[in-house]
Structure 1
Amino acid sequence: MSSWHSALDNALRAAALGYPVFPLSRNKVPAIPSPHDRGHKCPGFTTCGAPGHGVGDATTDAADVRLLFDHAPRAAGYGIACGGRLRLIGLDLDRKNGVDGVATINQLAAEHGFAIPRDTWTTCTPSGGFHIGLTAPEGVDVPNSVGRLGPGIDVRGTRGYLVGPGSTGKNGEYVFHPQLGYAPPQPAPTGLLQLMLPPPPPPRRQPNLLRTRSAALDGLLRVVVAAQEGERNAKLYWASCKAWAHVEDGHLGALDVETALMDAAVSRGLAEAEARRTIESARRTVGAAS
């Protein structure tokens, strides 16, 4: 049986189990060239009618799998889309060029107190490493990463893919672990999941609104209190306009502004009725301008 037929047969088996698949070349990259110009964004061939969207073409429909392989005569393998409805996560543990991803994951497991399930999906890769299939909790998107967890460990999450067992690459075949055969992916251990997820963004520093409000109003009140006789009403009007503008944009409370301005004006010797007219005039001015 040719590599193409073997890849198609195994891809159809995976699709029948509910795994979205698409054809790969011997280089482990999508086997169908894009039908679009560079920079064009299209989610998949079911949208535009033309295959060539890589993992975006992944499907569980047998007829569509055959159609994709018909467009990929040089395909020697198939990819299994991660993320999605199955919430599949792939751990690619490489053993090559002096790097041992298996040793790295074992070290992480010891340091962070988790264990990789022994009965989870395990594919043996040509490098002597493994593809470990796990699942994420509902609603959790695991990002793709290369080497972030440690040397020899790549994570395949949302919009990523694993080379499916039964594929042939330049360096050999991908096969299920001989002692396990096909085993459904098990939930990712919590400790490992925390390592795979990006750190939460730092909390945004909230301004001290009380301090901001007090400082803004206090500065305006000082202008009123420091006003010389003959300019008291003008200074009160100016400060009131500024204060009501702060009320309009939500930085100051109307009652606080009115009370504080009245107290400052009266303390400077203005009559209460006159001060109230000035403050209200400023309020109408600001309201008409907003």
Structure 2
Amino acid sequence: MSASLLTAALDASSRGWHVFPLRPGDKRPALHGESACTGSGDCANGHLKWEQRATTSPGRIRNCWEFHPANIGIATGPSGLVVIDLDMPKTNGKSTKGGEGTPCGVTTFTALCERAGQTVPATYRTRTASGGQHLYFTAPHGVRLTNTAGKLGPLIDSRAWGGYVVAPGSTTPAGNYTVIDSTPVSPLPDWLCTLLTSRQVSRALTTVPAPHRGSAYATAALRAETANVANAGEGVRNFTLLRAARALGRFVASGDLDRGEVQEALKGGGLAAGLRESECTPVITSALNWSITHNQGKAS
């Protein structure tokens, strides 16, 4: 066990990923906490947390894993990674591989990609002990992402600075962590970065008038997408507006939303984000045209 874990830890470090030990058969860090710190060794100049002590040094990794069957944690921030964690539904606090009728994180993420007009990204992917999946991406330059929980959707979390994931090769009583797609790690797609960096939606920005004929689901989508546009920061506003219009175009194609109402709502969101009307109108028009054309067959 120690030999296989050592090999897995060295493999992770060879990719430039910073690793640290987890408790044997567990997902919790094995390193001491601040209250138990002796102020010696790595902590001689002050207590260092697991993120600071994670390493790519083969010598330190051998010293740690050669004789100890510790599971392997990958500190995502120092490793330059953003990992999307697609979890399984839980029953009585435990993940259920069957799902019990609740969509799993993989299903929800696939639907998220579809709504955004994107394909599911091809990248390095692992299966977790519970049957979920980890999608690895390289972090974008100039953006310091942190952990999120449910921001992209139910049972979808993300790990970046301040977070870690359990590396393949590790094992727990629930099962093993294994590589299921060894595709090289891809850069985090811009549209995912936009969603992860969007500010918290405020109630004031979700008070879009209810459309005359919209279903409850379509109305909620209109309000949510309008709020996303209004909250978009500089540098991602146009893309967020484009993505929102494409997502809402399918409701126009199905007859659940009126095109004029969608255009006005999204324009209001764009203006709230700091865009000019002359910038909003062509983006909304072209994106709606594209979406309606591509969803006409599905509307029937």
TM-score normalised by length of structure 1: 0.58
CA deviation string 1:218-248 (max 9, x = no partner): xxxxxxxxxxxxxxxxxxxxxxxxxxxxxxx
Alignment partners' CA distance in 2, 1:79 and 1:56? 13
Alignment partners' CA distance in 2, 1:175 and 1:50? 36
CA deviation string 1:4-35 (max 9, x = no partner): 43222210111122111011123311012225
Alignment partners' CA distance in 1, 2:176 and 2:158? 20
Q: Which residue of 2 aligns with 1:103?
A: 107
Percentage identity across aligned positions?
Answer: 35
In structure 2, stretches of 5+ residues that fail to align are 91-101, 200-230, 235-300
Alignment partners' CA distance in 1, 2:109 and 2:137? 14
RMSD of aligned residue pairs (Cα, Å): 3.1
Judged with a 3 Å threshold, the aligned counterparts in structure 2 of structure 1 residues 9 and 202 are, in CA distance, closer, same or farther, namely: closer
Conserved? CA contact 1:27–1:169, under 8 Å: yes
CA deviation string 1:39-77 (max 9, x = no partner): x9x9x974537997222211000112233447x94x541
Q: Which residue of 1 aligns with 2:55?
A: 59
Q: Which residues in structure 2 correspond to 1:210-221 (within 5 Å)?
A: none
Alignment partners' CA distance in 1, 2:33 and 2:6? 20
- Cα displacement (A) at 1:187: 1.0
Alignment partners' CA distance in 2, 1:198 and 1:14? 31
* Other structure's SS at 1:194 match: helix
Greater CA radius of gyration, 1 or 2? 1
In structure 1, stretches of 5+ residues that fail to align are 204-290
- Amino acid in structure 1 at the alignment position of 2:118: F
- Amino acid in structure 1 at the alignment position of 2:195: L
What is the total number of aligned residue pairs between the two structures? 191
Conserved? CA contact 1:81–1:162, under 8 Å: yes
Alignment partners' CA distance in 2, 1:132 and 1:52? 28
Alignment partners' CA distance in 2, 1:141 and 1:104? 25
Q: Which residue of 1 aligns with 2:22?
A: 24
Alignment partners' CA distance in 1, 2:192 and 2:6? 33
TM-score normalised by length of structure 2: 0.56
* Other structure's SS at 1:193 match: helix
Matched, 1:78 2:72: yes
Conserved? CA contact 2:26–2:71, under 8 Å: no
- Amino acid in structure 2 at the alignment position of 1:191: W
Q: Which residue of 2 aligns with 1:190?
A: 190
- Cα displacement (A) at 1:201: 9.0
